[in-house]
Amino acid sequence: MDTRLLHTFATLARTGSFTATAAELHVAQSTVTVQIRALERELGTRLFDRLPSGALLTESGRRLLEEAGNVLDAVARLRAGTGGDGAVRGRVTVGTPESLCSTRLPGVIAALRTGHPDVDVRLHAAGTARSVEGLRSGHLDLALSLEEEGDFPDLTAEPIGREPLGLLCSPGHPLAARTRPVTWEELAAESYFLLEQGCSYSDALERRLLAVPGARPRLTRFGSVDAARGCVAAGLGLTLLPLTTVEDHLRQGRLVRIPGPRFTDVPVRLARHRKRWATPAVEAFTHEAVRHFTG
């Protein structure tokens, strides 16, 4: 079997689009169509349903995807072992919480480009559930998460650092002037702008607030740190965020920390699929990420 067909198949499974696959592989869209049809003929089964919304894997396609990943991993391993100049090359696709995209990862990518300029990093903002799905499907090579723990037998998740959290409000908010710690009962009467469901520390705060007898917090969830941070800076309520995402706002006096309950630093975990071979590019990214978060 021509491994180019498997490569095209795996790319289409990841993008869900013939057009995007053609652009990524630098071929005509008709070439992608011909190659997928050739693979379907060779295997005697339909691998994709062609829908108006894009290409969707059939059950046969989902079964093939894992095997195709194993074959492509083996090919990549062979090529890496016989490379002539020893340079690390390739693409690394990483799923990451939105908060890390804008704070921690630019430093990782900058260091990687200095040491390995031929490594291309692609970041996809994603919560834990989407990252786990991406690792399992092969859409992602690595995933960063902000989770206390994760029980996924087919994945490894190495803790590489911790992110301090802060409960925040605007300087004009009544709680900003408090000299004594705010109680959970008082906090349960406030409005909050938190990150979307699936964010471990936001979910934990919501559970704790709702556990207060007679609790009536007003909770709004966003998929963006900027949105939550902006609403709080405007004096509309409180938020809980990693302090790295609000350093400038704290320094400029646009946000202040609220004296109150202590929040445990949230672990940063780097996850990958147990069965997939880590390319030299993936190993290079992992090395820089560990160095950056632990340094």
Q: CA angle, 70 as apex, 136 and 157 as ends, to 5°?
A: 40
Range of the domain at 72: 1-84
Whether 139 and 22 map to the same domain: the answer is no
DSSP string for residues in 22-39: HHHHTS-HHHHHHHHHHH
Whether 73 and 106 map to the same domain: the answer is no
Q: Give how far the C-alpha of residue 190 lies from the chain's centroid of Cα atoms, to the nearest Å.
A: 30
Q: Is the pTM of this model over 0.75?
A: no
Whether 19 and 59 map to the same domain: the answer is yes
CA-to-CA distance for 72 and 87, rounded, in angstroms? 20
pLDDT tens profile 68-112: 877 776 666 666 554 555 678 888 999 998 889 888 999 999 999
pLDDT of residue 68: 80
List the CATH number of the domain containing 42: 1.10.10.10
- Domain count within the chain: 3
CA-to-CA distance for 292 and 272, rounded, in angstroms? 18
pLDDT of residue 137: 77
Mean pLDDT of the chain: 88
CA-to-CA distance for 264 and 244, rounded, in angstroms? 15
